[in-house]
Structures are given as structure tokens and as C-alpha cells.
Amino acid sequence: MSSRKKNILKVIILGDSGVGKTSLMHRYVSDKFSQQYKATIGADFLTKEVTMDGDKVATMQVWDTAGQERFQSLGVAFYRGADCCVLVYDVTNAKSFENIKSWRDEFLVHANVSSPDSFPFVILGNKLDVEESKKVVSNRAAQDMAKSLGNIPLFLTSAKGSINVDTAFEEIARNALQQSQADADAFEDDFNDAINIQLDGEPSSCNC
């Protein structure tokens, strides 16, 4: 590549309200350099430098469509051009788990991704820190779901206890980077679109 600009990865984070999307983001950015912009409408927006596999550096933009219940129509516009989509449920909330699939479908409907089958998703089961008795979504059920949706990587996390958050986001970044670089070098031959110019007075036929 001729330009040495860092990659920018657009990540959408989706899930029922109350599953802890915002706390996950905050936990993730809290200890390292990051910048957060509270848009107050539409989407919360966060950026963070990530280093993957030791040397690959990228800037991750995480779009949290927190406000989208109020501004539903704006929300879906954010999906386009995403490099990865994170689906979050709450291990203590069965409904939020069941909705994972509809969040995924909703994303695919609006995001206009070129190949839905290979688009990278990551599933996060959050609130791992709560006592066992309150957990209603079994690990087994989660794994089955992740598998049935196309072997989506699954992480059980705790924003509060800072469990697995960094690992999960590193996986998210890695998947997003893969998506963003797909076909990146496949530029076509671009100077052959000759403009056909016929000047006035040009003979309309030739004598050969």
C-alpha cells in the first residue's frame, strides 16, 4: 500500500438495553489510551488504539447505538460500513439471550454487507461476576447458539470484574481487521475508461 495510515475499524455493539454494553466499553477503554465522545443522540462513540498479535496497530471505533430506541430511524444508518458486529446478552436475562439472533438479523438486514455468511460477529455474555444462582443462560446453551449462528466466537465477560474484556475486544479487533482488509488490494485497472470524444466536424465514417 502506498499510504501508511493506520487502519480504522468500525465496530457496532448491539444488544438489549441493560445488558451492559456501555459498561463493557467503559471497562475496555478505562486503563489505556482512549477517547470517548458522548454524542447524546444516536450513538455513543468510542475510539481506542489496539495492538494485535504484537505488531498490528489499528484504531477501533466502537459505535454503541444506545440512543436508538428514541431515534430508531437513525440507528440503522450507523450499521453500514461496519467491520465487525458485537452482540451482547446478559447471562442473568434469558430474553436478552434469545434476542441475540434477532439483533444479528436486524444488523444483516440494514448493514448491507457484501457476504453475510462470512461477516464477523462476536457474541459476549456479560455479567459473569454475578452469583451462580442468578445465571439463567448456561454456557452450553450459549455455545450451541454461537455454533448454530455460524461458529461465532463467544466470550463470557464481566465488565464489573474486568473478566475477559480485553481478550474479547482483541478478538473483535482481529476479526474486524480481517474484514477491513478483505479485497483491499484488488484495485482494478482504472485508466482505461477512455472518454470518447467526437469533435465537431469529425468525419462520421472513415475510408478504410
Partner 1 sequence: MLQFKLVLLGDSSVGKSSIVHRFVKDSFDEFRESTIGAAFLSQTVKLEKHQDVTIKFEIWDTAGQERYKSLAPMYYRNANAALIVYDVTQPGSLVKAQSWVEELKHKVGDQDLVICLVGNKLDLCEADSSVRQVEIDDAQTYAQEQHLLFHEVSAKTGAGIAKIFQEMGEKVYERKTAESAASAATQPRKTLNVELQRPSTNDSTSCCA
Partner 2 sequence: MMQTLREGYIDNQHPRDKATPSGASRFNPFTMGATQPTTSVNLASSFSAPPQPFFEDSRPSDSSVYLDLASERQSMRTSHRDLEHELLQSMRSLDLMPKSHAVSNEIPSIFESVVAGGSMAPLPQEKQFFILSSAGKPVYSMHGQDELVMGLMGIVHTVISYFKVHNTKMHSIVNSCGNHVKQKFVFLDKTPIILMAMSSREESVNDLLQQLDFLYSYLICTLSRRQLTRLFSKRDNFDLRHFLTNTDFQNLNHICDSISNGFNPDFLLGALRCLTLRKSTRQTLHSIMLAQVQHPDVAAQRNTILYGLIVAPGGQLCSVLRPRGHTLHTTDLHLLFSLIFNQFQGLQDDQELWLPICFPKFNSSGFLHCYIRLLAHENPQKKSKKTPSPEALEASVDAQHEGAHKLVSSKPALVLISAQKESFFALKKIGQGIVSELHNKNLLEQIEAASTLGFTMADIPAKFVHHFIYKSKKHVQYIMPRLDDLDLYNMSASDDARSTFSANDENASVENDPDPINNGTSDAKVRQKAYLYKLMRYYTHIRNNAMDESGSAFNRSTLTFVQWSNDGMRLNDLPQGEEVDTLCLAWLTPNFELFLICNNGVSDRNTILKSAKNIVDWCRKNEDRLFVKNGAVF
Which one among 31, 54, 133, 191 touches partner 1, defined by CB under 8 A?
A: 191
- Tell me, residue by residue from 133 to 152, as one string, x for binding to partner 1 by CB under 8 A and - for no binding: --------------------
**Residue 56 has which C-alpha cell?**
498490528
> What's the order of all strands across the beta sheet hosting 56-64?
34-37, 44-52, 56-64, 7-14, 84-90, 121-126, 154-156
- For partner 1, the closer of residues 1 and 151 by Cβ is 1
- Tell me, residue by residue from 157 to 186, as one string, x for binding to partner 2 by CB under 8 A and - for no binding: ----------------------xx-xxx--
Q: End-to-end distance of the chain based on CA atoms, in angstroms? A: 46
Closest CA to 178 of 4, 56, 15: 56
Of 46-65, binders to partner 2 (CB under 8 A) are 47, 59, 61, 63
Residues 24, 30, 32, 35, CA torsion sign? positive
Length of the chain equals 208
- For partner 2, the closer of residues 70 and 101 by Cβ is 70
Calculate the dihedral angle through the C-alpha atoms of 135, 153, 97, 13, rounding to the nearest 10 degrees.
110
Q: Which residues bind partner 2 (CB under 8 A)?
A: 1-3, 5, 7-8, 10, 35, 37, 39-45, 47, 59, 61, 63, 71, 73-74, 77-78, 80-83, 111-114, 179-180, 182-184, 187-188, 190-191, 193-202
For partner 1, the binding residues (CB under 8 A) are 1-2, 185, 187-192, 194, 196-198, 205-206, 208
